[in-house]
Amino acid sequence: MRITFFGGGNMATALIGGLINNGYPARDLAVIERNAESRERLAKDFDVRCYGEPEAEALNCDVLILAVKPQQMREACAPLIGRLREQLVISIAAGLRLTDLSRWLGGYFKLVRTMPNTPALIGCGVTGLYALPGVTEVERMGAERIMQAVGATLWVNDEAQIDAVTAVSGSGPAYVFLFIEALQKAATELGFTPKQAHLLSIETVLGAARLASHSEEPASVLRERVTSKGGTTAAALQVMADCGTVDGIVAGIHAAKARGVELGEQLGKDD
């Protein structure tokens, strides 16, 4: 399977590195990247073929991954109209709906929309995927294998759910970083040095996440096991509940989803 990336930014770089680390041959990978320095870096780091423009040789592939910024997608798609020959096209552009992408590609329909998150940069991401009806099961499996090079995957049956994926896992790392930030702030207020606060906070989050990933029980049960009646954890959780911590997080995720829908509508406008 020959794969061409249109765009050589951070996520494309992560996918290329993940594929190669999983044994995918570099000779079957290509990148279309207009920035000369980025082309040189990709060629040096991964020994992949690089092109400055969407030349015929670059488009001679089985899968084309659109990895340009959402705001640049319409312009990037223009030279592709009429030049695609049954390739599977995968978009990793946040917020961009497939109806708009299909229109910008001249009615092309072999499209998969994905939403990876930033931990994919270290191979620990999770990606939501949605495919148009014209994508075959074999092509869906191919898209899944590609995205699994940087972490776990989750298929959704309704494209609207991709906006929900964006709100939960796409933006999710920021919520976790905020929690780490709060832990570190509290730790320094309790007398620890910034270095000690960083260690305590990061290792606690990593350990708790690993514990949850190894357990079949819901997070609520794991939380209850740590919470002794009348103990220190119960005292902390009660104050957090009084401050509306959980409700605030849930409300924030709903707000992220709503904003994702708005951005999709804005990106798809033909002005």
Tell me the DSSP string of 15-37.
HHHHHHHTT--GGGEEEE-S-HH
Does 21 share its domain with 112? yes
Q: Is residue 269 part of a domain?
A: no
The answer to pTM > 0.85 is: yes
Q: Which residues of 235-252 are buried (b: 16+ CB within 10 A; e: fewer)?
A: eebeeeeeeeeeeeeeee
What CATH number does the domain containing 241 carry?
A: 1.10.3730.10
pLDDT digits (tens, 9 = 90+) for 102-123: 999 999 999 999 999 999 999 9
List 152's β-bridge partners, or say none.
126
Q: Is residue 39 part of a domain?
A: yes
Q: Give the per-residue pLDDT at 271.
A: 61
Does 240 share its domain with 151? no
Residue 64 and residue 4 in contact, taking contact as beta carbons nearer than 8 Å:
yes
Tokens read off for 265 = 């509508």
Does 222 share its domain with 186? yes
Does 35 share its domain with 128? yes
Q: What is the number of domains present in the chain?
A: 2
How large is the average pLDDT for residues 31-54?
A: 95
Does 87 share its domain with 197? no
What is the domain range of residue 36?
A: 3-165
C-alpha dihedral, 52 to 4 to 94 to 152, nearest 10° = -140
Determine whether 56 is exposed, middle or buried from the number of CB atoms within 10 Å of its CB (0-12, 13-18, 19+).
exposed
Does 7 share its domain with 129? yes
User: Using CA atoms, how far apart are residues 53 and 46, in angstroms rounded to an integer?
Assistant: 19
